[in-house]
Amino acid sequence: MALAYYKHLDATTAFGVWKIEETAEELYSSLQLNKDEEAYLQTLNNGKRNLHWLSTRVLLRKMLNTEKYIDCQVDEDGKPYLVNFPHHISFSHSFDYAAVMVSEDKPVGIDIELVKTKIDRVAKKFLCPDELAFIDNVHRIEHLYICWCAKEAIYKLQGKRNVSFKNHIRLNRFNYQEEGCFSARLEVDQECKSFEVYYEAFKDYMIGYVSGCRTLG
């Protein structure tokens, strides 16, 4: 497994991106798994799902820099959390890369996606008309992926399944750049939260991430 990218966002928060080059057996040998994790791993088909699950756990171990057993579980909505470490975490993976975001003091969300033209066919399913109106047609595919990664990162930070990308997560207008930030808000269950979303192009991929949020009155 080769570290492709690592970024400190502040004193307590960072994310890493790894290129998955090992076999499942090699990744497995780097982990300590309990019986429940072993059983879950057996339910995954050999292939990318298996490699993605294993690689995010290996990367998490390296980012926490520990030899201790890491009790990583998922809640009823599928959000991962740590039982025996105080850190907030978020996982993502796409094709040959895995990404993990870790913070000691605030919730986080990260998404990495391979940029492909097919996103244009589903843009209206996750963006409202006001958001579609500011998409840069010269860089349309990349701009759409920034929007998708932003909404996915917010969704992962919030961690509840009752969130609609199109109806509950709204992005403020921003111009396309290869790297930047913009504001967004989540409105669901009579709550409104605001976020600063950061994004950057990475090789043929797009990464979007958020850390912390602010509750609006």
Mean pLDDT, rounded, for 46-70: 93
| pLDDT tens digits for range 106-164 | 999 999 999 999 999 999 999 999 999 999 999 999 999 999 999 999 999 999 888 99
Q: Which residues of 55-64 are buried (b: 16+ CB within 10 A; e: fewer)?
A: bbbbbbbbbb
> How is the chain split into domains, by residue range?
2-105, 111-215
With 60 as the cut, is the pLDDT of residue 36 above it?
A: yes
pTM of the predicted structure, to 2 decimals: 0.95
Helix ranges (H only) for 66-139 are 123-126, 129-132
pLDDT, residue 27, reads: 93
Query: What is the CA 31 to chain-centroid distance, rounded?
Result: 21
Rounded CA-CA distance 38/35 in Å is: 5
Distances (CA, A) of 41 to 54, 89, 98, 104, 193: 9, 20, 17, 28, 35
Give yes or no on whether 2-105 and 111-215 have one common fold.
yes
**Higher-confidence residue: 216 or 181?**
181
Class of domain 111-215: alpha beta
Q: Mean pLDDT across the chain, nearest whole number?
A: 95
Longest dimension (CA), the chain: 51
Protein fold of 2-105: Ribosomal Protein L22; Chain A (3.90.470)
